[in-house]
Structure 1
């Protein structure tokens, strides 16, 4: 009996693996590995007493983007310096007394933990206090213990930042726009689902909730990249326009789509739906095409005819507005239910707002691209 062909299984596994791990993941892994090796070599060469702190810091500082790496390096430096100062002071006051050490430990950890609760930049301070205060129970030279710790983490921080900048660097800006592109594609699909619900073609609430949740996650990820991009600017590592307006325009567009979705679970009256469906289909199709084209542009692809697609969307939305006015002028809406009237004019308004936000998003992105 012939054995089954296992051929398709391997490509399928590789496809799933490629979906989980991309080039950016391997770049981060390479940067972290090289940073750890360089830090270990320096710690060994400098004969640091606890050189593993340099290695740990170097690996932790290396993040997905330069801005994220700089933020982590600053946080570790602040936490180490503050924790070292407090730890040294506590150790010198406690001396060789076990009772005083016990009290000093509680007070020092309380102070630094309170500070870290106020600002996450100092979250390493309590850890540094414990290390400085307890690493040398005799407390003969606590200032030297603190100095060693600061120096070890400084070495790791410098190595980590150098690795992030010099080894296949990735700017936060380039990691931000793909999240906006994903949100745009999700919004295009949400707009189509809402249109189907309004004209009575059926609407799956599960799909609606899932796509909305994914759009929310994508926009939150973009927000996180904004802070990283601004950190790169403050650190003087790059010069670029503020990307925040791009994300804000993308979020406003999502809110505009939600306006249409609010009435999508209640189809319009059949007569009104039949009359408005062709214009609504054309408007949604044009807006969706424009969103997908702009999403491709945000992903770094060369897109031809972006302006033409925007003009087509503008014309289609204008035609939808004209159709709604025509229905009103012909008296068709006089016999329509309140829900139908609300849904119709909400859909027209939503499409118009989506178009405006799309144009604003394209303009804001063009500003950043020109500056870059």
Structure 2
């Protein structure tokens, strides 16, 4: 019995962890089934193959992603079908060599256009289908192009409809979750970054930390772009994810500066006085960021920055005391440069955390 209970708990945990992916699986399955039924009803050639494939492509993780995919797929298909249909109609092609020439004329300009604009990425693919598909199903190029546009309209329309109605996932919610994950990752990296000022740091470890933060930001930014597409509809709230994206990017840069400043330990002259203060900054910033991530998920007002500000103020006061005591005059040029870089990075982080707090509070009020 205990094994069965453990299995149920494991399955429940898996469902909670992969809830978004399971929802996408259901939406794609529903979209494929509905598109296939419609394609059979209207008697599309090849059983509605391209309509079904379009439904799969358009049905994305979020409504915003589905809107973006539908726009790109529709624009690329329409442009590719019109151009390839015109080329295949106007240029005779009765031999394999002439077929090759028509295919090249149809694909080359569309491939260039696809390289310039992502909206036309499906253009070359559509051109190949129009030129070669017309011979496969024994219809003219104009009819082939028409069927291609018709199938994309059916598959894209059903994919969008399913994305809106079947277990819909809003991109701005997913963006908040991705932002919270990034914030937690930055919080967990603080102690390692600040430890460099007292114990020294491992370059490979710091690079791994910075790389993981950069990857987390890339994931968030991709979803935030989808959230921007949702803002064009009534389905999403009017909260703009860009202020949050800018704050997270700036905080990432602040941590890069702190990591570089902590590449070597502080001078032994100042380390006993500054080391404990830097540890306190790391602790308060860690607590603040973790509470901020929780506030973002719960759509609550951002937590207070008072503890972080107090820790930063104490550090600034100690730097001023070091100057008054003449300690900084005894430091080498490299040590002074390190102190300046550290102070600048910490003040930048203070301003960034203020902007992050404002962005999180704005998300809670939307």
Regarding TM over 0.5, the answer is yes
User: 1:96·1:139 contact (CA, 8 Å) conserved in 2?
Assistant: no
Conserved 8 A contact 1:268-1:339: no
Native 8 Å contact 1:233 1:240 kept in 2 = yes
> CA separation in 1, counterparts of 2:146 and 2:181?
47
Counterpart position of 1:57: 54
Partner SS, residue 269 of structure 2: helix
Taking the aligned partners of 2:132 and 2:355, their CA distance within structure 1 comes to: 58
Question: Matches of 2:73 and 2:242 in 1, distance apart?
Answer: 26
Kept in 2, the 8 Å contact 1:246–1:364? The answer is yes
Alpha-carbon distance between aligned partners in 2 of 1:20 and 1:203, rounded to the nearest angstrom: 37
Is residue 15–residue 22 contact of structure 2 (8 Å, CA) maintained in 1? no
Deviation, structure 1 residue 88: 2.2
Partner residue in 1 for 2:316: 321
Give 1:211 deviation, angstroms.
1.2
* Structure 1 unaligned residues grouped into runs of 5+: 1-5
Distance 1:344 1:189, change over 3 A: farther
The alpha carbon displacement at 1:180 in A equals 2.3
Output the CA distance in 2 between the equivalents of 1:351 and 1:69: 41
How has the CA–CA distance of structure 1 residues 20 and 230 changed in structure 2, closer, same or farther, with 3 Å as cutoff?
A: same
Counterpart CA distance in 2 for 1:249 and 1:189 is 18
Match of 1:151 in 2: 150
Aligned residues of 2:296 and 2:363 also touching (Cα < 8 A): no
| Alpha-carbon displacement from aligned partner over 1:252-288 (angstroms, at most 9, x marks no partner) | 1121222222131321222311112232222222222
* 1:298-337 aligned within 5 A: 298-300=296-298, 306-307=303-304, 310-337=305-332
Q: Cα distance, 1:155 vs. partner?
A: 0.5
User: Deviations along 1:152-181, whole A, 9 cap, x unmatched?
Assistant: 111000110011111111122112223322
Aligned to 1:357: 352
Alignment partners' CA distance in 1, 2:180 and 2:336: 33
In structure 2, relative to structure 1, the CA distance for the partners of 1:47 and 1:317 (3 Å cut) is same
2:98 aligned with 1:92: no
Question: Which residue matches 1:275?
Answer: 273
- Counterpart Cα distance in 1 of 2:54 and 2:353: 43
Alignment of 1:66 with 2:63, yes or no, is: yes
- 2:119 is aligned to 121
Cα 1:327–1:165, aligned 2, differ >3 Å: closer, same or farther?
Answer: same
- Correspondence 1:1-372 to 2 at 5 A: 14=10, 18=14, 22-50=18-46, 51-94=48-91, 97-98=94-95, 100-137=98-135, 141-200=140-199, 202-235=200-233, 237-300=235-298, 306-307=303-304, 310-370=305-365, 372=366
Using the size of structure 1 for normalisation, the TM-score is 0.88
Q: Is the 8 A contact 1:284 1:351 kept in 2?
A: no
Which range is displaced more, 56-65 or 338-347?
A: 338-347
CA contact (8 A) 2:248 2:356 kept: yes
Using the TM superposition, name which of 231-240 and 51-60 deviates more: 231-240
The 1:100–1:266 alpha-carbon spacing in structure 2 relative to 1, beyond 3 Å, is closer
- Write out per-residue CA displacement over residues 74-103 of structure 1, whole angstroms, 9 at most, x where no aligned residue: 111112212221232233224563354443
* 8 Å contact kept, 2:64–2:228: yes
Match of 1:270, SS? coil
Distance 1:324 1:25 in 2: 50
- Is the CA contact (8 Å cut-off) linking 2:300 and 2:361 kept in structure 1? no
